[in-house]
Amino acid sequence: MPSALKRFFALLLVFLVFFLSVTALRTWQSGGDLSSFLPDFLWKKKSGNSESFTPSDRPALELSDVEMISRLNEEYARLTKAVVPSVVSIDTSGIRTERMMNVWGESRTHSYPSQGQGSGVIVSKEGHIITNHHVIAGQNNQIRVTLHSGKTYDAELIGEDSLLDIAVIKIERKELFIPLKLGDSSQVEVGQLVFAVGNPFGLGESVTQGIISAKERSISDNQRNLFQTDAAINPGNSGGPLVNLTGEIIGINAAISTLDKDKPGFLGVGFSIPSNDVKEALEQIIERGRPIRGYLGVQMRDLNPAIRTHLNYEGETGSAVSGVTPDAPADKAGLKQGDIVVAYDGQTIRDMAQLIAMVQRSKIGIDVKIAVWRSGKTLELIAKITEASKPPEVIFSPENQEARDNAEILKAVGVEVRDLLSSESQQGFRGVVVTSVLSGRLGEGILEEGDLIRALNNSQIASSSEFYLHLAASAAVQSTSLNIIRQGQPLLVSLPSPAP
C-alpha cells in the first residue's frame, strides 16, 4: 500500500478515536448512557432486549411544600377511619305487597318476593341501627346486617316512620357496638363540609365528600326541610349517614335527584333527612315502637287560579280545604270544604305542604288556633290535635252523589296509575306511574303507559289515591296540567275537562 494512503488511514483513525473519546466524555459528564455507542445488534444481544428505563426517585413536591393540604389529608383519613366502623350494609328479602287502584276507585293488592339493599348507621352500643324505611319496607322476613369488619348478623325491626322515611332495626347480640352521635342539625349551614358514607351499588363502605348545597328542600308533601348536598349519593347509599367534620350524624341520606328511573345515577343533587327529625322519630320508636304525629283530618289543596276564581279569594297565601274527615278534629272544630286556612297556631300558611308538616309536628292533645277564610270573612277556629294513625285512604264509595260524580269524571279521563315501587322511591322518584290509558278516553294520545306523573296543577303527587282525588276535583271544572317524565325527559301535558 502506498505510504500516502497509509498516512491517510492513520490520520482518519486518530480523528475517529479523538472524536469518539470527546463525545463519550461529554455524554458521561451530562449523565448520558454510554451503552448508546454500542451497535444495536451488540446492545440487544448484551441486554436481553430490555428497554432503557430510569424512573424518578423523588416526588414532584415535598410535604413541607404542601403543609396545609397534607394536614387536611391526614384529618380526612382520620375522620373516615373513625366513622366507617359504625356504618353497615343492609341486605333484605321478603314478600312485598303493593296497593293499586283503578279509575273506579277499586283497590287491590299484589304480592311478590323481593330483595333490597341499602345502608345504615349504628346509633347505640346495644346495636340499634337507623336506616331508611324504603330500604326495609315489606322486607321483614329477613334483614341481614354486615359490619365494616365483615361480620354478618340478623337484625329485627324495632319500628318505622314511613312518612319521614326512617326505620330502626337492632342487632340481637350480647356485645357492644360502636355508635355514632346524632348531631344538632339546626346548626348546619349552607356551604359547610360534609361526608356521605354508605354502600353504593353493593360495593361496600364508600366515603364521598362535598358541601351542604341548600337547606329546607322538599321532595314530597311528607318530606320537607331536607338537606341538599353535592356529596355523591347513589342507589345503595340510602340509610347511610351524612356526617360533619367531627363525625357527628347531621343527616340520613334518603334520595337522589335523577330523571332516568331505569339508569339512576348521581347528578350532583342528593337529599338527607336532618338529624333532629331523625332523633325525634328514634326516641318515639324506642319509647313506644312507633312515631307520634298530630292529626287534623283534612284534605288540602294548594291555591291555583281556578280555586281562587271559584271561591272569589284574592289573598296571597293559604291552603284550600278540599275535604274534611267526619268526626276528625277538623270536623269538630268547624272546618268545611271550601275554607282556606290562612294561619295555623299563629303562623301564616304559605302552602299545603307547610300546613301538613305543622300539623304532624303538633303535640298531641293541645288546642290549636286555626284562622280560616270563608266567603269573604276570616274566622278563628280551635281544634284539639289527636294522634295520627294510618292515613285515611280515599275510596270513591257509590253511596254518595259526589263519589259517583268523581267516578264518572275519572272514567271519562280513562287513566290508571299505581303507586311507586319501593325500589323506585329509593332512587329518588316521587309521584305515580301510568299503568294504562283506555282507548277512546280523554287521556289517549296525551299520556302513555310508563309515564311518571310528578305533579298535578303544580302540586306534587304522593300516591295514587291522592292523584285520583285531585284529578277528579280539577277535571270537573278545568283542564288539568300534569308534570311528567317520559323516557327520562320532563314534559308538561294538559288533560281537557270532560264535556258536561
Question: Catalytic positions, please?
Answer: 134, 165, 238
Residue 198: count of CB within 10 angstroms of its CB = 29
Amino acid at 44: K
Task: Single out the residue of 237, 156, 235, 163 nearest to residue 195, CA to CA.
Answer: 237
Contact 349, 368 (CB under 8 A): no
Task: Single out the residue of 426, 401, 392 nearest to residue 476, CA to CA.
Answer: 401
DSSP letters for 372-435: EEETTEEEEEEEE-EE--SPPP----TTSHHHHHHHHHHHHHTEEEEEPPHHHHHTT--SEEEE
Amino acid at 237: N
If you count them, how many residues does the chain have? 500
Bridge partners, residue 182, by sequence: 249
Residue 41: count of CB within 10 angstroms of its CB = 8
Task: Single out the residue of 129, 95, 125 nearest to residue 112, CA to CA.
Answer: 95
Contact 184, 276 (CB under 8 A): yes
What cell was used for 242? 351524612
Taken in order 227, 233, 235, 240, the sign of the CA dihedral is: negative
Host H or E run for residue 283: helix 275-288
User: Helix 401-413 crosses helix 464-475 at what angle (to 10 degrees)?
Assistant: 90
Taken in order 123, 124, 127, 133, the sign of the CA dihedral is: negative
Query: Scanning the structure block, which residue is given the C-alpha cell 331508611?
Result: 132
Tell how strand 347-348 and strand 142-146 pair up. unpaired
Half-sphere exposure of 345 (CA within 13 A, CB side): 16
